[in-house]
Amino acid sequence: MSAASKVPTAMRRRKRRDAVDRSLAVYAGLVYLFLFVPIVIVVLFSFNSGRHVTQFEGFSMTWYDQAWNDPMVLEALSNSLQIATASAVIATVFGTAAALAVRRLSPTTQRVVAILTYLAVVIPAIVLGLSILLAFVMFADWANPWLAYLWPGDDAPELGLGKLSVIAGESIFGIALVMTVLQARLAQMDDSLERASADLYATPWRTLRQVTLPQLGSAIFGGFVLAFTFAFDDFIIAFFTRGQSQTLPILLFSSIRRGVNPSINAIATVLVVVTVLALLLALFFLTRRTPGGAALPLLDDTSSASREDPAAPAAGPARTPQERTAEKVST
């Protein structure tokens, strides 16, 4: 190619590139529209004065009032919060403890743990939910007569489905989630700091507390938030294991089925606002604490392990060769 012909080609290319870039930007805009229109609709109709969900008849706060004064809504909300908090705490504590130690188990035990984690991630929520239902029912049926028999007083406690079984189900996935997120982070972490700490005669516990955990802080927080969100929004596990505890998604589902009540829009709007605020807060907090955007645990690579993440085992090893390539090329 001669220098003379290269200039116009480059210009043409740049022009075409601009066109491509612009259409990409337009495309992105359309996808965001797609993502947000339903939410806008929900928010808009939560202020609708009429019952009709398809015609906007005027501004009113009726549905907020109604939802706020409905004891069933409040109870479901409180149940959901309790369940999500408990599941996320269990998931974070157990998951973090396990992730820190798992690499020092014997290879066989490591494999067992890996298989269990993998299972927890890939098992369809509906299958887990109904298995727990069956297991709780069977166990309670066997254990309760014993409890009643052995209990000193008359009021023997009885086991059954309820918040506990929902928490059990939700936290299974949560533990796997936290473990995956943390293991991915640990794999990237440089252990020189820990060595230095040990060289300086810090006890292992102190090293853990003062060196390892702070470095993992954002990942742990990210894991907690993901586990919480999953448990809070989950419908299907709770649907099977809830016993008599109503959760918010289940209440919304049964309200939808039995005729339309715009107060569900009000509840949803409150949830949207709370979530967005929490997310903004987390974003602000995390980007300030650690320099560089990548510190945001929800958005960096470990978050490919978001929600129902089977890719961690699959994509985990898959990524490394590609990293290697990148390193090889750039050096």
Partner 1 sequence: MPPMNNISRRDLLRLLGYGSLASAGVAGFAACSPPESEGTDSGSGGGGGDGELGSELTLATWPNYDDPELLEKFREETGVRVNVQVYGSTEEMETLLRAGNSGIDIAVPSQYAIPGWISSKLIQPLDYDKIDVDLSGWNKAVVDQEFDPGNEYTIPKHWGTTGMIYSEELGEEPTTWREFFELAGSLDRRATIVDHQISSIGSAAVALGLDFNVQDPQGLSEVADYLIGMKSKLFAISSDVQPGLRNGDSWLSIAWTGDGVQVVRDNPTFKYVIASDGGEIWSDNWSVAADAPHPEAAWAFLKFIHEPENAAANINFTLYAHGDPEVNELVDKEVVDNPVVYPDDDTIAPLSFATAETYNSPDRAKTWSRIKSS
Partner 2 sequence: MPKLIPRASTLSTAPAVAWFVVFMVAPLTVLFVVSVGVRGPDGGYAGGFTFDNYLELGNRLAPIWNTLKFSLLGTAVTLLVAYPLAYYIAVKAGRRKLVLLALVIVPFWTSMLIRTYAWTFLLGSNGLPAVLREWGVVDDLRLLNTPFAIVLGIVYNYLPLMLLPIYVALERLDPSLRAASKDLGAGRLATFRQVTLPLSAPGVVGGCLLVLIPVMGEYLIPVLLGGGRSYFLGNALADLFLQSRNWPLGAALAGAFILLMTAILLVGTAVARRLSGAATTGSPA
Considering the complex, state which of residue 154 and residue 327 has its C-beta at the smaller distance from partner 2. 327
Considering the complex, state which of residue 164 and residue 198 has its C-beta at the smaller distance from partner 1. 164
- Restricted to residues 116-155, the positions that interact with partner 2 (CB under 8 A) are 116-117, 119-120, 122-128, 130-135, 138
Residue 233 CA to residue 83 CA, distance in Å, equals 11
The region of 56-64, 65-73, 142-150, 187-195 touching partner 2 under the rule CB under 8 A is 187-195
Among 167, 177, 216, 251, indicate the residue that binds partner 1 (CB under 8 A). Answer: 251
Token output for 78? 């409180």
| 260 in contact with partner 1 (CB under 8 A) | yes
| 34 in contact with partner 1 (CB under 8 A) | no
Which backbone phi and psi does 200 adopt, to 5 degrees? Answer: -85, 15
Among 96, 246, 247, 303, indicate the residue that binds partner 1 (CB under 8 A). Answer: 246
Among 12, 17, 51, 289, indicate the residue that binds partner 2 (CB under 8 A). Answer: 17
Considering the complex, state which of residue 150 and residue 329 has its C-beta at the smaller distance from partner 2. 329
Considering the complex, state which of residue 92 and residue 154 has its C-beta at the smaller distance from partner 2. 92
The gap from C-alpha 65 to its chain's centroid, in whole angstroms, comes to: 30
- The string of DSSP letters for 48-94 reads BSSS-SSS---B--HHHHHHHT-HHHHHHHHHHHHHHHHHHHHHHHH
- Restricted to residues 201-240, the positions that interact with partner 1 (CB under 8 A) are none
Considering the complex, state which of residue 159 and residue 283 has its C-beta at the smaller distance from partner 2. 283
Residue 173 CA to residue 28 CA, distance in Å, equals 32
Are residues 163 and 247 in contact, defined by beta-carbon separation less than 8 angstroms? no
Q: How far is CA 15 from CA 1, 6, 8, 28, in A?
A: 20, 14, 10, 20
| 134 in contact with partner 1 (CB under 8 A) | yes
Binding-site ranges for partner 1 (CB under 8 A): 51-54, 70-72, 75, 133-134, 136-138, 140-142, 144-146, 148-150, 154-155, 158-162, 243-244, 246, 251, 253-260
